[in-house]
Amino acid sequence: MRNLIAIHTEVLLAAGYAVFLIVVALTLEAAARFAHRRAERFRVSSFTYHRGLDIWECPAGERLFPTAPHRYRAPAHSCNACPLKRCCTDSHTGREIVISPLQWLETEVGRFHRGMSVGLLVIVGWLIGFEAIRHRDAADLRLLAGVLAVAVVLGVRLATALVRGKG
């Protein structure tokens, strides 16, 4: 309890806010990844992929054949005559499925969210740095150094993956 009393209130508040920003950055990462996976699943929900044949099968049993890399299309005449067409597609050329070969971090949205997370961690670094300049007591500096270490390790990991485009 003595160490808490030795730490300035501003340092405790800054450290708490920094930890909050770290949690927000991690939450943003998790939410963005979840949304990406969910969107990928939604686009092909109720369709079945047959890996050995490299085709997709719709709920009505029609097959979607590859027309280009990562692109599959059902014959237009089959879709236009299908009773499920209204809830499946508005295209007159047949239902198309495009599978993105990109990982989450290779997409624009993924890079945006990762950039936001890294930006929050940079703010944490500035906040901790300013507090370290203002308060030079050993207990204050130990607390700030601990929070800064977490932010730096996480920030380097996220920024490295962002630069590489894989994550």
Q: What average pLDDT does the segment 29-43 reach?
A: 86
Residue ending a domain, choose from 57, 74, 98? 98
Instruction: Name the pTM for this structure.
Output: 0.72
Residue ending a domain, choose from 79, 98, 117? 98
C-alpha–C-alpha distance, residues 67 and 94, integer Å: 12
Q: What average pLDDT does the segment 11-23 reach?
A: 96
C-alpha–C-alpha distance, residues 127 and 17, integer Å: 9
The three-point CA angle 104-109-123 to 5° equals: 100
Number of structural domains the chain divides into: 2
What pLDDT shows up at residue 162? 86
Which DSSP string do the residues of 132-163 spell out, in sequence order? HHH---HHHHHHHHHHHHHHHHHHHHHHHHHH
Which DSSP string do the residues of 25-62 spell out, in sequence order? HHHHHHHHHHHHHHHHHHHTTT-EEETTTTEEE-TTS-
Mark whether 91 and 112 lie in a shared domain: no
DSSP state letter for 73: E
Predicted confidence (pLDDT) per residue in 96-135, tens digit? 998 877 777 788 888 999 999 999 999 999 999 999 999 9
What pLDDT shows up at residue 1? 45
3-state secondary structure (DSSP) of residue 89: coil
What pLDDT shows up at residue 166? 66
Helix pair angle (9-43, 138-164), 10° resolution: 20
Mark whether 72 and 89 lie in a shared domain: yes
Mark whether 109 and 151 lie in a shared domain: yes
| 43-47, 53-57, 94-98, 132-136: segment of lowest average pLDDT | 43-47
C-alpha–C-alpha distance, residues 128 and 115, integer Å: 20
Q: In what order do the strands lie in the sheet with 71-73?
A: 48-50, 55-57, 63-68, 71-73, 96-98
Query: Which residue segment(s) compose the domain that 83 sits in?
Result: 45-98
pLDDT at 4 over 90: no
Mark whether 110 and 34 lie in a shared domain: yes
| Cα radius of gyration (the chain) | 25
Contacts (Cβ under 8 Å, ≥6 apart) of 65: 55, 72, 73, 74
Predicted confidence (pLDDT) per residue in 65-79, tens digit? 999 988 999 999 999
Cross-strand partners of 18 = none
Mark whether 9 and 86 lie in a shared domain: no
The mean pLDDT of the chain is 89
Mark whether 64 and 19 lie in a shared domain: no
